[in-house]
Structure 1
Amino acid sequence: MMFNSAGSPLIIQGDQSILLDLHDPRAEDARKDIASFAELEKSPEHIHTYRLTPLSLWNAAAAGYSSETVLKVLDSYSRYPMPSGLDTKIGEIMDRYGTITLRESEEDAGGDRKLLILQVHDPYIYKIIENTKSVEKLLLPRREDDGASFYLHPMQRGNIKQELIQLGYPVDDLIPLKEGEPLEIGKLEQTVSGGEFHVRDYQLQAADSFVGNMEGGTGYGTVVLPCGGGKTIVGIEVMSRLKTQTLILAPNVSAVHQWKRELLDKTNLSEDDIGEYSGQRKEIRKVTIATYQILVWRPDIDGDFPHFDLVTRSSWGLIIYDEVHLLPAPIFRVTAEIQAVRRLGLTATLVREDGKEKEVFSLVGPKRFDVPWKDLESRGWISEAICKEIRVELPDKDQLKYATADKRKKYRIASENERKYDILDYLIHHHPQDQILIIGQYLEQLEEVRKRIDAPIITGKTPNSRRDELYQDFRDGKIRVLIVSKVANFAIDLPDASVAVQISGSFGSRQEEAQRLGRILRPKEQSAYFYSIISRYTVEEEFGMNRQKFLAEQGYSYLLEVWDA
């Protein structure tokens, strides 16, 4: 391999980390190309750090990348010779995807179901499985005819995937999925609201990647699109192709209502076809939209989840997990039970703050489609966004209190810095024609903002009917400034918002930062502005940098401004 210099932005290291020099002329091209198989870890001003992880490489393998392709990309951007042995490491990790497969056998499992065959294509891995108690207990006696596979009862299909991925061995499930009860779902060329309805090319590609050829190995997985990129439209496209009764799981009641509006506006489904299953209503219809909260509700901490059977009560042919990165941990249990059903995850980011990305991979499915945010921006499908971090010092009276507090209290003191209010006033007056979202973490802080600017507020205590009313007034332009707590982070369509001001956030939550920016990315004529107000010289700076990691991976950079108090 020849030594490269200018135009070689990557420094690839033996620990599988990758340094990206942002000042190199090919840095942006390299970022786009490695994003398919590497995860961003750090994103300071000059050098970004990525890492090749098993999950990032397995997602790439599931998307059709080979280890040779990954190595070719790395080599084309590498400033120095590739570390010795890295090609072997990448090959070993990526080759694990497809080494263990699931197929249906001809043997009867009872109840008109067939036993499954766990086929292991590597003798070494076969021995590991055979001698791992947590895995071995899920398996039936091994087949006598080949010594390379095990029988498996269908009810253990999800459990075996969970156990094996924790061992570092993903399962490629090649069993055809059931069809479910038929339902004639069609898209409208003219929406009920009066506009033309066209599915964009990348949305069609996303649906193609999920539906596939309808044979084994297709019909499950996750589609990753930016906020404002039309994930709901991908869901509608998939539903119109599969034409089957569908269960949609969404993060909150506002998202349930949004799904229902979109389905009624853009498909031939009627009010009678669509049911809402939430804390307010318990309707089960041909298309049922439920909240995650109702599924994980139980009367006491040691009790059963009485609504789990919604997932198995009807003959669903498709389950859609909206904002799949928010899937509550208990739902993984019931998701493990429904591996015979087509499962579509929709999200703007696969990042989970609880570290359960492997569960999403194994039980919902690998990433099937992803498109860089900046690509959609360049084509006008989402707005150009200008991100600014404004730093302001703590008042003198709070500095001693901050210095003597523990880390959690330090964060709250920094987040509720009263000097942020002056910056907020300035920004509101600086954008007199824009519709502005003010987003925060702490209710006392948001209440103080409400008193200062006399704007409506939405928190967790706001009734759902009132939330829907305020969201609609904001969409209609009756409200110019809306204050929202973290309840508005996810699955809320506010297309006319062009400015978001984040006055406090959830520690280092990368998914939250992405979702909050997403509130203002719906396409519009002017640029969108995302302001994050941070207390200078505090732990809030550290957490703010962590929150920005995911967006840095998408090509966004934050302009830094220090506010002179």
Structure 2
Amino acid sequence: MASDGEDGLDIDLDRFHDALESEERPLATASQVARRLETTQSAARDALDALVARGSVDRVDVETDPVVYYPTEWGKLARRERIVTFPNRREVVVDRPTQFTRARLSEFAHLVDTTRTDPGTRGYLYRIRREDVWAAPFEDAASLIARVRSTLGRRHEGLEGWIEDQWRRAHRFRLYTHPDGYVVLEAASESLLGNVADQHLDADHLRAPISETEAWVNEDAIAGIKRALYDADYPVVDDRELETGDPVDMTLTTELRDYQQGWVDAFMENGSGVYVGPPGSGKTVAALATITAVGGETLILVPSRELAGQWREELTTHTTIDPADIGEYHGGQKEIRPVTIATYQTAGMDAHRGLFDSRKWGLICYDEAHHITAPVFARSAELQAKHRLGLSATPVRETGNEEEIYTLIGPPIGADWDALFEAGFVAEPEVEIRYVPWRDEMARNAYVSSDGRERRRLAAENPAKIEEVRELLADHPGKKALVFVDYLDQGAAIAGALGVPFISGETPHMERRRLFERFRRNAGEGSKADGTSSGNTTPAAPLDTLVVSRVADEGIDLPNAEVAIVASGLGGSRRQGSQRAGRTMRPSGSALVYVLATRGSSEEDFAGRQMRHLARKGIRVRETTLSE
């Protein structure tokens, strides 16, 4: 606290620290402090001498220079939040940021990395990308620039100029519904429509010109128009007046956390978006709140039938919807209701496309939204809807096309993983990479004499991993454990050694469902329909351990999983690594993830790549090398 008055300027230690940080030096003269605090040199000198008298600041008289002042306790300065901006690289480094600062940065910047230290002490690297500016939740460029300036603490003219330019680019094209009912593409100028649109849009995208800045749009090509203009660095503002279809009669019965309510509010303000957060952060419940807020006919797209059944359970558990208003449309059954759950593959098939096209969807929800860029699922992006919502723990695909996800669905909305860990909403997992040696000489020789894909498979199936899995499970008796594999032979071998079931894509749907239900159940719980053996009314015993292939990577809700062991699959994507670690991320309890990598093989590099991705999200990773 400082005030000017008859007694001069009163400077506390915090204001002195602010002056030092503004000077970007560990010490300062009275004239430098005066300039930073906008006062006279004599007033600053008197105030600094008062701090010296209190013991908070030291001073030193230098023979050839003025008196300089510095904090007595350097540690307090080191523990302060510091924001350092690199405007030419458009990067911001923040030491010990508050959640308030992180929330503000997330409005216009992308969290790239965090240091691997204890919560509350991490350093954060943010990058301001064009898509972050395009999706920034502000009414105009002036409001965005004001937020950037207040967050970074000073003006950076070059950076601000670039941000203003990107904001203008994001508002140069607009889609809107003409009073006569057809869709129009509007450009900010004649040259934009004539040059950019003509150069980047196909002949069948536009039907005919309407004016020098407007053209009649082929409604079947709207997704292609958006994608083409986005690739040309001109994202399209979609202001079409779309219908919401049949009303959905439901209310949410579960109270939202503050950040979930923030997601929903941001979505309703923007009209579209992708909820990005770790498993256990409540994306599904936030999606149910969004369905309620939109209030129109809803299509939920999922990658598997297991997830379709899971969504039905979530709807009936957390809302007042009449079960008769929920339909499932996939290989097992085909019903269209006010809320319809379908698989991506079914919705994109020609045989069913006409039915989905004919509906007036108020909302399409894309679960595991990264699927939308895969060619086999891309056609689902062309279905018309007033609102689009995506859900993803990590929208990264190895092709690096997460921007396309945001183009086809909407901008990212969500809290960073680290914030949820620190707030206690999600338990931060402990991740350990364990480098397993070859203990079988024949297996080692087979690996050495092979190459390419065969060599990767042999490293993944290192027989020593079976014993390591057994020992890890013995170290955690009674805990619910998932063992992940990529190879069927290895999965069968581990399951046989442990005497537990193995679930793969070859496991019949109903059997998968029964096994997952047994895993969810704890000892002493009553029987459930899906937990009984076929033809037997005796409840099947709960399962503590399952060996699973990729069928459990995405979305399958196994809320009581406490231990995850990745026995193979290190050649997979960063997204897969996040999902497997994420199977143990829950609101409470310890979470343990063990990644087994064969020592001296390419698995070491793959493990490092996947775990660096997790470390950037604030998850602590340690490494252990096992003895021969």
- TM-score, normalized by the shorter chain, greater than 0.5: yes
Aligned to 1:38: 110
1:225 to partner: Cα distance: 2.4
Q: Is the 8 A contact 2:116 2:619 kept in 1?
A: no
1:274 to partner: Cα distance: 1.7
1:490-509 alignment, distance < 5 Å: 490-505=554-569, 507-509=571-573
1:481 to partner: Cα distance: 0.8
Matched, 1:358 2:403: yes
- 2:206 aligned to which of 135, 139, 145: 139
- Aligned amino acid, residue 58 of structure 1: W
Matched, 1:440 2:492: no
1:291 to partner: Cα distance: 1.3
- Aligned amino acid, residue 169 of structure 2: R
Bigger relative contact order, structure 1 or 2, given CA contacts below 8 A and separation 6+?
1
Aligned to 2:300: 248
Aligned to 2:233: 168
1:66-77 alignment, distance < 5 Å: 68=145, 72=149, 75=152
Pick closer, same or farther for the CA change 1:442–1:312 going to 2, 3 Å.
Answer: same
| SS in structure 2 of the partner of residue 229 of structure 1 | coil
Cα distance in 2 between the residues matched to 1:400 and 1:257: 46
Cα distance in 2 between the residues matched to 1:30 and 1:378: 14
Q: Is the 8 A contact 2:99 2:419 kept in 1?
A: no
1:493 to partner: Cα distance: 1.2
Cα distance in 2 between the residues matched to 1:63 and 1:370: 20
Pick closer, same or farther for the CA change 1:28–1:503 going to 2, 3 Å.
Answer: farther
- 2:268 aligned to which of 190, 196, 211: 211
Aligned to 1:540: 603
Per-residue CA distance 1:495-531 (angstroms, 9 max, x = gap): 111111111125241111121122111223x311111
| SS in structure 2 of the partner of residue 309 of structure 1 | helix
Per-residue CA distance 1:213-247 (angstroms, 9 max, x = gap): xxxxx432212222111222112212222332221
Q: Is the 8 A contact 1:388 1:558 kept in 2?
A: yes
Matched, 1:510 2:578: no
Q: Is the 8 A contact 1:42 1:50 kept in 2?
A: no
Q: Is the 8 A contact 1:157 1:337 kept in 2?
A: no
Q: Is the 8 A contact 2:201 2:228 kept in 1?
A: yes
Aligned to 1:185: 250
Matched, 1:412 2:485: no
1:4 to partner: Cα distance: 6.4
- Aligned amino acid, residue 54 of structure 1: R
1:64 to partner: Cα distance: 8.4
1:487 to partner: Cα distance: 0.5
- 1:100 aligned to which of 170, 173, 196: 173
1:549 to partner: Cα distance: 4.0
Pick closer, same or farther for the CA change 1:231–1:48 going to 2, 3 Å.
Answer: closer
Matched, 1:264 2:309: no
Cα distance in 1 between the residues matched to 2:100 and 2:178: 46
Aligned to 1:301: none
Aligned to 2:54: none
- 1:200 aligned to which of 257, 266, 283: 257
- Aligned amino acid, residue 482 of structure 1: L
Q: Is the 8 A contact 2:243 2:360 kept in 1?
A: no
Aligned to 1:424: 469
1:485 to partner: Cα distance: 0.7
Matched, 1:387 2:437: no
Aligned to 2:283: 231
Q: Is the 8 A contact 1:135 1:164 kept in 2?
A: no
Aligned to 1:192: none
| SS in structure 2 of the partner of residue 308 of structure 1 | helix
Give the paired residue count: 527
1:559 to partner: Cα distance: 1.0
- Aligned amino acid, residue 382 of structure 1: V
Pick closer, same or farther for the CA change 1:119–1:355 going to 2, 3 Å.
Answer: same
- Aligned amino acid, residue 115 of structure 1: V
- Aligned amino acid, residue 584 of structure 2: I
Q: Greater shift after overlay, 123-132 or 279-288?
A: 123-132
Per-residue CA distance 1:91-121 (angstroms, 9 max, x = gap): 4334422232222233x3xxxx2332x2323
Per-residue CA distance 1:288-325 (angstroms, 9 max, x = gap): 2111233345xxxxxxx322234224333221111111
Matched, 1:114 2:114: no
Q: Greater shift after overlay, 430-439 or 172-181?
A: 172-181
Matched, 1:274 2:326: yes
Gaps of 5+ in 2: 1-21, 27-77, 523-541
| SS in structure 2 of the partner of residue 341 of structure 1 | strand
Q: Is the 8 A contact 2:113 2:616 kept in 1?
A: no
Query: Which structure has the larger Rg over C-alpha atoms?
Result: 2
Q: Is the 8 A contact 2:83 2:152 kept in 1?
A: no
Matched, 1:561 2:605: no
Q: Is the 8 A contact 2:565 2:595 kept in 1?
A: yes
Provide the aligned C-alpha RMSD in A: 3.4
Aligned to 2:528: none
1:162 to partner: Cα distance: 1.1
Q: Greater shift after overlay, 512-521 or 536-545?
A: 536-545
TM-score (norm 2): 0.75
Aligned to 2:421: 377
1:425 to partner: Cα distance: 1.5
- Aligned amino acid, residue 342 of structure 2: A
Identity between Structure 1 and Structure 2 (%): 30
| SS in structure 1 of the partner of residue 353 of structure 2 | coil
Gaps of 5+ in 1: 189-196, 213-217, 298-304
1:279-318 alignment, distance < 5 Å: 279-296=331-348, 305-318=350-363
1:50 to partner: Cα distance: 6.4
Cα distance in 1 between the residues matched to 2:603 and 2:159: 37
| SS in structure 1 of the partner of residue 514 of structure 2 | helix
Q: Greater shift after overlay, 341-350 or 410-419?
A: 410-419
Cα distance in 2 between the residues matched to 1:237 and 1:522: 20
1:391 to partner: Cα distance: 1.4
- 1:220 aligned to which of 249, 268, 272: 272
Matched, 1:319 2:378: no
Q: Greater shift after overlay, 66-75 or 261-270?
A: 66-75
Pick closer, same or farther for the CA change 1:378–1:50 going to 2, 3 Å.
Answer: closer
1:35 to partner: Cα distance: 5.7
Pick closer, same or farther for the CA change 1:385–1:347 going to 2, 3 Å.
Answer: same
